[in-house]
Structure 1
């Protein structure tokens, strides 16, 4: 419980110190070249997430000039309830399925920070059960749609504290940032402020994703 409360405090503190970059949300029927699907961290403010989602989307817009980008904020509580990550998991998969059916040429970049990384992990078939604010898998992106996921960008991923990581189909398309000492993703980590510093990795994450589109 102490770790869960710490995570909440970290996210709330981040909202007080990080400026929000406005990113347009995608409608279900909006077709674009790339749909950036972002799951924010626990209690994280911002359109897609002030610490990660918004700066990553902004960086992608700059690197993918000539491409049409939309964004989607995963609809889930992002709180400390036991079903929060599972709700995000279900919403993310439903969104990808809906968009893929409506927009045959659209590809996806999945972004997850903190609890949002649990949401993305579950959605690509890597269970976050047992991790801080994690949950069992309730839905997975269908195998037929896997090639349309261009990149997976994870930050402060709680499953890493369990010794887990993204393996299998998505491994080569995934970059997973864990700051030294971040107690959410590093077992035994003691630098609570490290969990708030992932805005600094937005450009590197966008460069990684752009190289796979």
Structure 2
């Protein structure tokens, strides 16, 4: 299944052009959007989810400055890929929080990137497609500054798990009908449709920042 998703993702990306979003947050903006792309997904923040969601967020959140950070990890099917993303996400958020005391965060994860976010907020993705064990968690002192979490095609849903606890009310976790990665469907192409939910996700996040 993981290989099928990789192939399908590259096929989808080959014929789609999306404006690139900024990849790194160097300054103390009001909000930092941290995006973890899916397996094999091209694009700055991710052509299927990250880029369109960031663009939608910029349209929905006005009067405040936004920046974006692309989680630095392989996003492939090698063992340890999700764990590397988990470590990088937590390191970035922790560093930014220390440098920018008033900055808040929106976490975005698609497919394997959703595993990365899950792990970072203390929900293990081990046992899910392209998942892995938790290697780092966002410190409790920073949790209130995570304004919203936007997850798409989240693999832990296929093993009966979900985001619970501290972050539950701040999380939008979308699974398209027929998507085999997050549900029991058999339509691999359904896993490539989440760009259509960018406006919905941005509206959800805008109401929480």
TM-score (norm 1): 0.96
Q: What's 2:7 paired with?
A: 9
1:31 shift after superposition: 0.6
CA contact (8 A) 1:151 1:209 kept: yes
1:34 shift after superposition: 0.3
RMSD: 0.8
- 1:15-30 alignment runs, 5 A limit: 15-27=13-25, 29-30=26-27
What are structure 1's unaligned runs of at least 5 residues? none
Large movers: runs of 4+ above 4 Å: none
- CA distance in structure 2 between the aligned counterparts of 1:123 and 1:97, rounded to whole angstroms: 11
- CA distance in structure 2 between the aligned counterparts of 1:138 and 1:54, rounded to whole angstroms: 27
Q: How many residues are treated as equivalent by the alignment?
A: 209
- 1:1-213 alignment runs, 5 A limit: 3-27=1-25, 29-187=26-184, 189-213=185-209
1:18 shift after superposition: 2.7
User: Over residues 151-179 of structure 1, what are the superposed CA-to-partner deviations in whole Å (9 max), with x where a residue is unaligned?
Assistant: 00000000000011000000000000100
User: Over residues 47-82 of structure 1, what are the superposed CA-to-partner deviations in whole Å (9 max), with x where a residue is unaligned?
Assistant: 100000000000000011211000000000000101
1:146 shift after superposition: 0.3
- CA distance in structure 1 between the aligned counterparts of 2:89 and 2:138, rounded to whole angstroms: 9
- CA distance in structure 2 between the aligned counterparts of 1:40 and 1:141, rounded to whole angstroms: 19
